Every structure is written in structure tokens, then in C-alpha cells.
Amino acid sequence: MLRLYGLMHVADPAVLATDPASPGALKVDVYLRNAATLAASAKVADMPFALVSNAAEWVAARLSGLGLKDAATVLPGDFARDVPGGIPFQAAHYKLDLMSMFASGELGDQVALVDLDMVVQRKFELPDPDALTVYDIWHHVAPAYGEDRIGVDLDLFEVPAGSRHWFGGEFIAGSPARFAELSAEIEKIWPGYVAALGTTHHTGDEMVVTSALLRLAARGLPLRDAGELGLVQRWWSARTLSPIPPLSQSIDAAMLHLPADKDYLASRAGQAFDPRTFPAQYRDHARGRRRLGMVKNVVDVLRGRGSQHLPQLA
């Protein structure tokens, strides 16, 4: 059985505990509510889900304080990576440590790292137990940043030339043996990545993981695309730098990643999840977000800035 795991890295739980109304704590609460919504959807789909945290006791207590006691299983994790402070997506870099934990085999024989701002709409298994199943979002990032710019960045980490792939950080799944290979490659890349901080188009785990996966794939590691398989789709209800496929082409995925809708997903925490009604409910929400995007485009044009691409529903 495929087991789903999400990361909940808390920068300083002792500080947050002394001021539970601080902006930092309130931001953590959004992610915890997202995790509760994700856990509820996973439960309906009969897929085990757990949060792995550097502050498991604090996270469990905070969930209880939010009225979400037992909403999600919380497990302790060992996060020893020295991540530079103040960089974008700082906490997301600890996903690299979670992948190392997967490699031990203690979390299961088939495991998946998933983002918290996702929902599970139906049960699924990995199509190829011998491969790593990843989510290629090249069609999202290449138009936004340019193929040449991305290629230059990947060259820094000795990725084979002409690799037109970029892997999203919201889903990566496979066996402990494959995660062991990935983790070993990540550690080879990590020093160079830290040295290059601030010079690449992207800062975050995706830069490291994409580079590692492409290097391994060139040496024969099998990869399967979760997007093509209908397992995962990322969809933005907010404006984007490049056009993305309409919601109608994403809504039926087994897992939906909704990075622009953390507050919406948080508002559903503690509620029963019904995969039969969620698509229509989300479509209504997305329709309102699109109207807001139209207003923002008008304002940007009036201020002399260019408009951005609006989400399309159909």
C-alpha cells in the first residue's frame, strides 16, 4: 500500500508556543489546517497519511488547540540539514531530509512525499514499483522563465544538456531503494546548490531534486510521470506568468495540488471530505478567484504594468 507523508517543519516551536497569536504561528496554522483537510481526503480514499515534523509534540498540541485533535497522524523526524536562513522556501528544503528518511525503509515499502495544500480524490497505487514516480511541470515553468534560463541553471549542477524536464516538489513516490539513490545524488549536489543561492531562477527543493533526478535518469534510473498517469495535477486559481491548462483538464486527477488556495483548503479543516461534491465546490471557488484576477489585471494595466494570465475553467 502506498503511504503518503507531508512535511511540517517548524522553525522555532518554543517561540511560537509563547506567542500563539504571532504571524509565524498563524502561518503555521494555515498549513496545519491544510494538513487536516488533506488527511480527511486521504482517509476517505483509504490511503494512509501522516505528517513528519521536527516538533511532533508541539504540532500535535497545536492541532488539538485548533479543534483538530487526531485530525492527522504526526510522526517525529530527524532534520539535521544546515539550511541557510532567510532564503525563499526555506522550510521546503527539509523535504530533502524526509527523502533520506524514506530511504531507510522505516516509513514503508512504497512511500510518497506530498505537499499539504493538496487533496486526494481517489485511491491509487504506483504503476511501476521499480521506478520513481514524479510530476513533470516543464510546461508550467518553461514559458514563465524561459528554456535558456532554466538550461543555464541546470548546467550549474552538471545536468545533461537539453534536459527539458522540471519536477514539481508536490509529489515524488517510490521504494526505499530508489529514494536511497536519490538522496545520495542530492547530497552530491547540495554544496554547489548552496554556493549558487541567489543566482538561479528558482530557490527551493525543486532545483536540487530536479537536478538529481535528471542526472540519475541519464544513468538509467526509471522515472514515471504522475501527471501523464492522471495521479497528480497542479492548478492555479490565481493569475500566472504563463498560461496553464484549464481546470477541466485537471479536476479529475487522483490528487489535486492547489497552491493558490491554501486559505480555502484551511477553511475546510475539520469537515468531512466528499470527493463526489468537492469538484463542483472547488469550481465555484475558482470562479470567484478568476473574477478577482480580472480586477487585478485592470488595476495593473491602469498602473502601467502588464496583465497576467487568468485561470481558465473550461
- pLDDT tens digit sequence for 187-218: 999 999 999 999 999 999 999 999 999 999 99
Mean of per-residue pLDDT scores for the chain: 95
**pLDDT tens figures, 147-172:** 999 999 999 999 999 899 999 999 99
Report the SS3 class of residue 257: strand
Q: Give me the mean pLDDT over the 231-239 stretch.
A: 97
Spatial contact of 244 and 236, defined as CB atoms under 8 Å apart: yes
- Name the pLDDT band for 16 (thresholds 50, 70, 90): low
CA 187, distance to chain mean position in Å, is: 20
Place of cell 492541532: 63
Specify the pLDDT at position 196. Answer: 96
Q: Give me the mean pLDDT over the 171-192 stretch.
A: 98
**Reported pTM:** 0.95
Specify the pLDDT at position 19. Answer: 67
- Name the pLDDT band for 27 (thresholds 50, 70, 90): confident
Measured CA distances, 296 to 37, 87, 108, 204, 263 (Å): 29, 28, 46, 28, 19
**Residue 12 pLDDT more than 90?**
no
Measured CA distances, 56 to 32, 238, 286 (Å): 12, 32, 33
- Grid cell for residue 46: 483509504
